[in-house]
Amino acid sequence: MLITSWNVNSVRARISNILDYLKKSKTDILMLQEIKTEEINFPFAEFKKVGYNSYVFGQKSYNGVAFISKVKIDEVKTDFLVDERKQSRVIVGDIQYKKNSIKLVNIYVPNGNPIDTDKYDFKKNWLNLFNLKIKKALIKNKNIIIGGDFNIIPEKIDVHDYKKYENDALFKLEIRKKFLELINLGFHDIYRYYNKEKQEYTFWDYTSGAWPKNNGLRIDHFLVSNNILDKIKNVNINKNPRSKVKPSDHTPIELLIN
């Protein structure tokens, strides 16, 4: 089973790119972030036409997350984390896979820039709350996959020029520590687990020729709980969608389960 996470930077602006991707990749479950629309304007029919059901937690203009899935997702919840600004950043659901129940947690973490504003505090508070919610969720189900746009560069290897990001909300030590705290609850950053030395990115800014220069960041991640680590067959950053016309600034990360 193939599970993909992709920040699409508007589901409506990106609909043909997303449909192309589904056709080519045959992904079973697509976890979307930054859909930038409410449920009322979500393209349910377009996905239904190609065999996918949509589970949507939308918001007007900003944020918004969704599952696009060929398989049934149970217990879909949009109140896993309710932040102080009531933003649509987390949707969770359970899948049955080979007699295991796996909880999928699809997240869009706040950006947090600039760091001298309340946006940065919002990100810190958000991550604290998220870690707490995951800690509680692990008590009920030890099979958890967290996927999404974390807006966190875990290590120096995950950015083209780390010195430029030392005072950026994506790479500040304080933020990376929150990511480590989350991992220490019992997860692996599955991309880095399989690729100890590889330098690949999931995001390239639209500006400054970042894509042709490969000035990227690895900020989209899959965290897999220890209990199901042996069920993971492969993980891949698929750069193809970033090279298309009218692309998202992020590209999909794909997780293959045994």
Partner DNA sequence: ATGGCCGAGATCCTCGGA
Q: For residue 195, which amino acid is it?
A: N
Output 34 or 254, the one with its CB closest to DNA: 34
Question: How many degrees, rounded to 5, is the angle at CA 72 between CA 68 and CA 73?
Answer: 75
The minimum distance between CB 239 and DNA, in angstroms, equals 16
Position 86 contacts DNA (CB under 7 A): no
Q: The tokens of 192 are what? A: 């880095």
Distance CA 216, CA 210 (A): 7
Output 55 or 211, the one with its CB closest to DNA: 211
The contact mask relative to DNA for 98-137 (x = CB under 7 A, - = no) is: ------------xx-xx----x------------------
CB atoms < 10 A from the CB of 121, how many?
A: 12
Distance CA 190, CA 171 (A): 19
Position 61 contacts DNA (CB under 7 A): yes
- C-alpha radius of gyration, the chain, whole number: 17
Position 217 contacts DNA (CB under 7 A): yes
Residue 29 near residue 4, CB atoms below 8 Å: yes
Pick from 75, 121, 166, 205 the residue near DNA by CB under 7 A. Answer: 205
Distance CA 54, CA 70 (A): 9
Kindly state the number of chain residues that form the binding site for DNA, as judged by CB under 7 A: 30
Residue 177 near residue 258, CB atoms below 8 Å: no
Q: Among the candidate windows 45-53, 132-140, 179-187, 244-252, which touches DNA by CB under 7 A?
A: 244-252
Output 132 or 209, the one with its CB closest to DNA: 209
Position 4 contacts DNA (CB under 7 A): no
Sign of the dihedral through C-alpha 119, 246, 15, 27: negative
Pick from 13, 115, 157, 183 the residue near DNA by CB under 7 A. Answer: 13
Q: Give the residues lining the site for DNA (CB under 7 A).
A: 7, 9-10, 12-13, 34, 36-37, 60-62, 110-111, 113-114, 119, 149, 151, 170, 203, 205-209, 217, 219, 246, 249-250
